Amino acid sequence: MVNYNKVPPSLLLLNLKFQPSDHFIPPSLEGPVKRIGIIKGLFTDANSGELIPVEMRIRYDAMARGNLSRDQYFFDSVEYSNIELERVSY
């Protein structure tokens, strides 16, 4: 999504810790939950080696794939599918 400007059909994210909003509904092991969210990350610039903060606003379906700790804010793995990229900010 950042390097090649292509949205993958799905993403499997590991060790996710959510910072929930007031109306947060955790991902479910039972089935996908529709979401609007933000992914924030630091990406290394290929030329300078400098870390660049990137924010991606997306719409997607989230489904928990692992929640061994049973914490509603931390998941071992979550799959994002049906991803629609709204905006990327550098």
What does the DSSP assignment read for 52-85? EEEEEEEEEEEEEEE-TT--TTEEEEEEEEEEEE
- The pLDDT of residue 32 is 94
| Residue pair 27/75 in contact by the 8 Å Cβ criterion | yes
- Domain-by-domain residue ranges, the chain? 10-17+34-89
Percent of the chain with pLDDT over 70: 100
Closest CA to 16 of 66, 74, 61: 74
Average the pLDDT over 27-34 and give the result: 91
- Taking the model in full, what pTM does it have? 0.77
| pLDDT tens digits, one per residue of 34-58 | 999 888 899 999 899 999 999 999 9
Predicted confidence (pLDDT) at residue 83 exceeds the cutoff of 80: yes
pLDDT band at 17 (very low <50, low <70, confident <90, very high): confident
- Residue 4 predicted with pLDDT over 80: no
Decide: 87 and 58 in contact? Cβ < 8 Å: no
Name which of 66, 72, 80, 76 is nearest 24 in CA terms: 72
